[in-house]
Every structure is written in C-alpha cells, then in structure tokens.
Homo-oligomer: A and B are copies of this chain.
C-alpha cells in the first residue's frame, strides 16, 4: 500500500502544472491543495480494482490521479467560508486561508478541469469508446446527481434531524459516488469484466463507500484534531446529522463492521486477484485517522 501511495504522490506531482508555469500562484495553490496529504483512499481503490483486471500501472496512475483531483477540489470548495468554513485540512491551513478565497475558488475549478483533461489525453483503456465511458463515469459521479448533489443535500439538511434512509441517500451521493467511480475507473483500465463480475465489484464499492463515511463520522466524534489533521467534533458543533447522531456510536461501529463483512462477501467470486480490494476494505474500516 505504501508503494502505491508513493507512486501516486510522484504521479500527482508530475501531472499537476508546474509552479513556474503562468499563472504561478494558481498552480501553486493547486499543488498545495493536492500534494503532501491525504490517505489517497480513492487512488488505492483504483489501483486495487486495476489489479483485478490486470491493468497497467501507468494507466492506473493517471486514472487514480483524476479521481484524486476531483476529491481534492471538493475539499477546497467545501472548506470555504460559504460552505463549511474550515481552516485546517490534512494538518495544514486550508487553501483559502493559505492563499485567498478567490484563488481557492479558481484552484478548485481548475482541478476539476484537469481531472477531465487527464482522462482524455493519454490512452487509459483498451478502446477509446471504453475511455469515453470512464469520462462519463467520473462526470456523473462528480456532478449534481453525485458528489456535488450530495453536498447540496448535506447543506440543506444541516441542523435538521435526518432519518437513516435520508442520511444514507446523502452519503451515497456525497462520498459514495466518487469512491464507486474510483473502483470503476481502475477496473476499466484493464480487461473488461463480465456483467456478474462488474455487479459484484460495484456491490463491493457501495459497501466500502458507505463504510468509509460511517467510520469518518465515528472518528470525527472519537479522535482528536491532531490525529485527524482536520478539525474534530465539527459535525456535532455544526448540528450535522451523522451515523453517530442517528444511530449512536456503538451501533455505528457495528454497522461499519457489517459493511466490511459484506464488502468481503462481494469479492468472494474473484479469488486472489481481489486480495488488495479485500485489504482496503479492512483498512477503511479499521483505520484510526
């Protein structure tokens, strides 16, 4: 896992625009937003799914970077004063604090464009038609019926009690969609799965996506700001519905464990090729930060 993370850091550093290219300050803020931080969960999932389909690492680096850029842009915009208004991310000042709000806005915008540029400018799938499907998958996962839509639902529901189905609906969009896209894109870099295989993989991705959020909510409640590298306890302060507030912390931990088991079950038909996907389900549920 450390090996993939190191490859991803190098790939991101290479694929982001250089700070000496005009406009330097914008490029600096884009690199600041993306580099030296984050667990790179989405690229890890992308690589693990690619292992299942025998994808080339060079392709997975680019596809993983595209997904990570979308994730990074969403954090930059999410942290802005008009959204979550947070000053700390990955242990560093957020982009609008380190630079300024206008730069943060543009950096997020340009990171999104760059994600789609990466998905279109080098060969990532066995056919251009399959690669166009990758573009579509990432666009849908990012947009109003994916991640951005989930954030809109999150904003609209702040301060309101949510039912469990409402909470799940929100997270299926807000975090789940992009995590599923990471898995789909990674698999797409290699050989095509049959319908049953694609369905199993998507079931895995749904479980892992939801588990990721449940664990995030538990950690926000349980861990310290220093451990998390971002402001802890924020959800409760902001009156946000979380798995902890809706089902209690003990049940939320049980639920994450159930999802981990379901994720493993979804991989059963793949055999050893899915070893890394199985490890990641464990990592996502058992992580402490």
Contacts and interface: CB of A to CB of B under 8 A. Distances in A.
Given A105-B105, A128-B129, A110 B25 contact: no
Interface in A146-169: 146, 148-149, 151-153, 155-156, 169
A113 B114 contact: no
B105 A144 contact: no
Interface stretch (A48-56, A131-139, A235-243): A131-139
A155 B101 CA distance: 11
Given A108-B109, A110-B149, A155 B102 contact: yes
A131 B131 CA distance: 10
B128 A131 contact: yes
A21 interface: yes
Interface stretch (A6-14, A75-83, A209-217, A254-262): A75-83
Given A109-B112, A109-B142, A116-B139, 4 more contacts: A110-B144, A120-B133, A128-B131, A132-B132
25 contacts: A23-B149, A23-B152, A27-B144, A74-B109, A77-B105, A80-B82, A80-B105, A83-B102, A102-B155, A103-B152, A103-B155, A105-B105, A112-B113, A113-B140, A113-B143, A114-B143, A116-B116, A116-B138, A117-B139, A119-B135, A120-B132, A120-B136, A120-B139, A131-B132, A132-B135
Q: Which 8 A-B pairs have the closest CB atoms?
A: A113-B143, A82-B101, A117-B139, A128-B128, A110-B144, A120-B135, A26-B152, A120-B136
